[in-house]
Copies of this chain bind each other. A is one copy, B any other.
Amino acid sequence: MNTFGKNFRCTTFGESHGKAIGVVIDGCPPGITLTEETIQPAMDRRRPGTGPLVSQREETDRVEILSGVFEGSTTGAPICILIRNVDVRSGDYDDMREVFRPGHADVSYFTKYGIRDHRGGGRSSGRETAARVAAGAVAAHCLASVGIRVEGRLAEAGGITGPEGMHKAIADARDAQDSVGGIIEIVARDCPPGLGDPVFAKMGAEIAAAMMGIGGVKGVEIGEGFRAARMRGSEHNDAMRSTGFSTNHAGGMLGGITTGSDILVRIAVKPTPSVGKVQYTVDMHGNETEIRIRGRHDPCIAVRIVPVAEAMLSLVLMDRLLEQLKYDGFRAKLHTEED
């Protein structure tokens, strides 16, 4: 199940230490201007090595569009975007060939597939998210062309809010050979009302799946989220006035369907599991051992998940927009016929 979406469908592939990673986007409308330059800025934002608090791995992440674009515009055919892996030092992982890293997917992959690919996590690596960011950039570009904007930001790191405090919390963790978690807020503005479906495919359900499908995310909130559980109905309900809603506790949706208010999403990211401190673990044969993870690791992966979360929200909104347009289109056709 490496495909996301029903109308704007993204299929990702590639491992962190293989030849390349990439994505095939199927269902992108034709006639949208698109070049590699449309996508590259999002890749650069995600890239490690661009700030003091992220790992120093060199990823150039140059995207190459292989298909689906002709003379600078989408054709309606599937768009394959390829990103070659260039800085693949599997050697870093050689001493972990048989040992499972705590908090990582090593052990669950081994149980599931019967295979131990020790080279940095394979599909479970954060590297896989580069393909999502590329796809998300295309979705965001489509959305922007009809006036919808998606933005994310790190709201909390190590339990601290405010840029300076977060910076210090991350630096402290790094210096202690440890890591911290964080909270990200993503907002979609100017999203039309009526998107999302009432029962299982509620807008909140689609967003929750999208977010919890990012490695390291352990919680998702819409609007007031867990705070809503501690509010009274008279307080949580958003009053309606002729000019719109007075408040936005609901986070932009009612009954799973967008209202036109901003879509407000918050996600909890766990601390990076790769820490320098000594940890207890077992090897492939069940023997107890200790591990001390070396190499380049972000002390707070939440920092790098911001553009990934934006990408996932863009993918959901583009998918749901196309879903709704078919019914709007039928209604329009019906009325034309009736005239």
Per DSSP, chain A at the interface is: mixed
In the assembled complex, which residues on chain B have CB atoms less than 8 Å from the CB atom of A272? 233
**A106 to B224 CA separation, bound complex (whole angstroms):** 20
Chain B min CB distance to A5 (Å):
9
Q: Which one, B11, B15, B236, contacts A3 given CB within 8 A?
A: B11
Q: Given the known inter-chain contacts A208-B220, A233-B272, please indicate yes or no for A147 contacting B337, CB distance below 8 A.
A: yes
Which B residue's beta carbon lies closest to that of A327?
B29
Interface assignment of A86: CB less than 8 Å from any CB of chain B: no
Interface residues in A181-203 by Cβ distance below 8 A to B read 181-183, 193-195, 197-202
CB pair B78 A11 closer than 8 Å: yes
Which residues of A106-120 are within 8 A (CB) of B? Answer: 106-109, 111-115, 117
Residues of chain A at interface, number, CB under 8 A = 161
A255 to B77 Cα, complex, angstroms? 13
A124 → B minimal CB distance (Å): 4
CA–CA, A254 and B215, complex, Å:
9
CB-based contact A76/B327 at 8 Å: yes
Interface status of A30 (Cβ within 8 A of chain B) = yes
Contact of A31 among B105, B114, B176, B236 (CB under 8 A): B114
- Return the contact of A218 from the options B21, B73, B182, B225 (Cβ within 8 A): B225
Q: Which of chain B's residues have a CB closer than 8 A to the CB of A115?
A: 30-31, 70, 73, 75-76
In contact, B112 and A76 (Cβ under 8 angstroms) = yes
A246-B78 CB under 8 A given contacts A114-B331, A241-B288, A334-B146? no
Contact, CB under 8 Å: A237 / B273: yes
**Are A14 and B80 in contact, with the CB atoms below 8 A?**
yes
Encode A246-275 as 1/0 by CB contact (under 8 A) with B.
100011011111111000000011111111
Q: Which of B237, B277, B331 contacts A102 (CB 8 A)?
A: B237
A27–B280 alpha-carbon span in the complex (Å): 34
User: Once the chains are docked, how many angstroms separate the CA of A67 from the CA of B128?
Assistant: 12
Residues of B within 8 A of A80 (CB): 13-14, 20, 22
Q: Point out the residues of chain B lying under 8 angstroms from A171, CB to CB.
A: none
Q: Is the CB of A219 within 8 A of B225?
A: yes
Residues of B within 8 A of A260 (CB): 111
Q: Does A217 contact B (CB under 8 A)?
A: yes
- A68 CA to B326 CA, complexed, in Å: 18
B199 & A1 in contact (Cβ 8 Å cutoff): yes
Q: A13-B67, A219-B222 are in contact. List 7 more A-B contacts (CB 8 A).
A: A13-B66, A15-B75, A77-B122, A105-B198, A105-B254, A181-B228, A240-B281
The 8 closest A-B pairs by CB, nearest first: A105-B255, A325-B329, A1-B201, A103-B237, A179-B233, A108-B257, A209-B209, A205-B213
28 contacts between A and B (CB under 8 A): A1-B6, A6-B6, A19-B66, A104-B254, A107-B240, A107-B259, A108-B254, A112-B193, A112-B324, A158-B232, A183-B226, A204-B212, A205-B210, A208-B211, A209-B209, A212-B220, A218-B224, A218-B226, A219-B222, A224-B270, A226-B226, A228-B269, A232-B275, A233-B273, A233-B277, A234-B279, A325-B329, A326-B329
